[in-house]
Structure 1
Amino acid sequence: MNLTFYGNTCYIRNLTVDDAEEMVQLLVRNREYWAVYEPRHQDSYFTAMVQREKIRESIYQARENREYSFGIFEHESNKMIGHISIYGIKRLPFLSALVGYSIDEACVGKGIATEAVQLVVAFGFEQLHLHRIEAYVSPRNIGSIRVLEKSSFLKEGLLREFLYINGVWEDHFQYALLEGEF
């Protein structure tokens, strides 16, 4: 199943095992940059073998309608510049999911992450028929907070000591967008 959604600055496409090498390059380029807000990974995570397996698992999860993982690509070069997922999909009585994303440090501040979030949100509401999409973000991650707020997500609260990142329990804001607000 090929899912591709086009925006003005980027497009998102579901990942295939052929994307593993390019995913590794993206991960390696951003290893230190992303580690500020995400748990550090073992060296084996940054290998094509592990990324192929992660992509295979995401393909299985998509078939089961539980998760959809996309690469974020530049229009001109078709280069992978990030990744975004809609995951933790719950059916009635919830009809909800989570969105998570990371953008290449070299592409920050260009509106690409905002557009990718808007594309995946449209997919969630229009094709998956969700009622609610949530996102968790570190209070220190001002750029990601801006992405969510530009995408009409509303801050609903603070999740205290929510995520264990690099030896420290970190608080996170919970943001959400409802189908009727989309």
Structure 2
Amino acid sequence: MRVPFTNDYREWAVVRGESRAFLEPWEPRWTPDELDRNAWRLRISRYREDYAQGTAIAFFIFEKSSGKLAGGITLGNIRHGVSQSGHVGYWIGERFGGRGLMTDAVKVVARFAFDTLRLHRIEAACIPDNIRSIRVLEKAGFRREGLLRSYLRINGIWQDHYLYARIADDPPGVGTKD
């Protein structure tokens, strides 16, 4: 894993483009210029600004055997003070799904958040029908805390989401569906 660079554009656009139908049900509606180079530059600029402000850190995930870009994960909405929390969001290319790459990445980002950033809590939200994402979070030690009604506008529709969280002193094992 590493932060995205401007020269990652081509590989990012290919993985996102070939995975569009796979990703669209779980993401905000794509803009017509979603995969354009200019939109990419704006995305990289936002990643850098967020990092400089201490509010988010974006990472790219690479397949070890091939070195190919497989997906991305962001620790965002980082808050210090009394909250000491953040929110994790992620995506993976369709051909890389089901291999445990995202579960491993979520675990790494959680450890980074707890050990390096000294956060106390990390949250994640996923659509109740997104069984793969639920599996990722639970294998990474997150616990389901409840249902957020009409939480995010995903693919053009306001969608309910499960709220998951992991606390710094939670054991790293499989989460429960409390």
The aligned residue for residue 8 of structure 1 is: none
* Pick aligned residue for 2:131 from 120, 126, 142: 142
Query: 1:23, CA displacement in angstroms?
Result: 1.4
Which ranges in structure 1 are unaligned for 5 or more consecutive residues? 1-11
- Does the CA-based 8 Å contact 1:89-1:97 persist in structure 2? yes
* Deviations, residues 13-37 of structure 1 (Å, cap 9, x unaligned): 1111111222111211111110011
Q: Distance in 1 between matches of 2:108 and 2:155?
A: 31
Amino acid at match of 1:145: I
Q: Distance in 1 between matches of 2:59 and 2:162?
A: 24
Q: What RMSD in Å do the two structures reach over aligned CA positions?
A: 1.1
The aligned residue for residue 125 of structure 1 is: 114
SS in 1 for 2:33: helix
The aligned residue for residue 87 of structure 1 is: 76
- Pairs within 5 Å for 1:4-43: 12-43=1-32
Q: Distance in 2 between matches of 1:43 and 1:59?
A: 24
Which ranges in structure 2 are unaligned for 5 or more consecutive residues? 172-178
More strand by share: 1
SS in 1 for 2:2: strand
SS in 1 for 2:159: strand
**Bigger shift: residues 151-160 or 164-173:** 164-173
Amino acid at match of 2:164: Y
- Does the CA-based 8 Å contact 2:29-2:156 persist in structure 1? no
- Does the CA-based 8 Å contact 1:139-1:172 persist in structure 2? yes
Amino acid at match of 2:91: S
**Bigger shift: residues 76-85 or 142-151:** 76-85
The aligned residue for residue 176 of structure 1 is: 165
- In the superposition, the TM-score normalised over structure 1's length comes to 0.90
SS in 2 for 1:124: helix
- Does the CA-based 8 Å contact 2:51-2:57 persist in structure 1? yes
Amino acid at match of 2:109: V
Matched, 1:74 2:63: yes
- Does the CA-based 8 Å contact 1:20-1:55 persist in structure 2? no
The aligned residue for residue 5 of structure 1 is: none
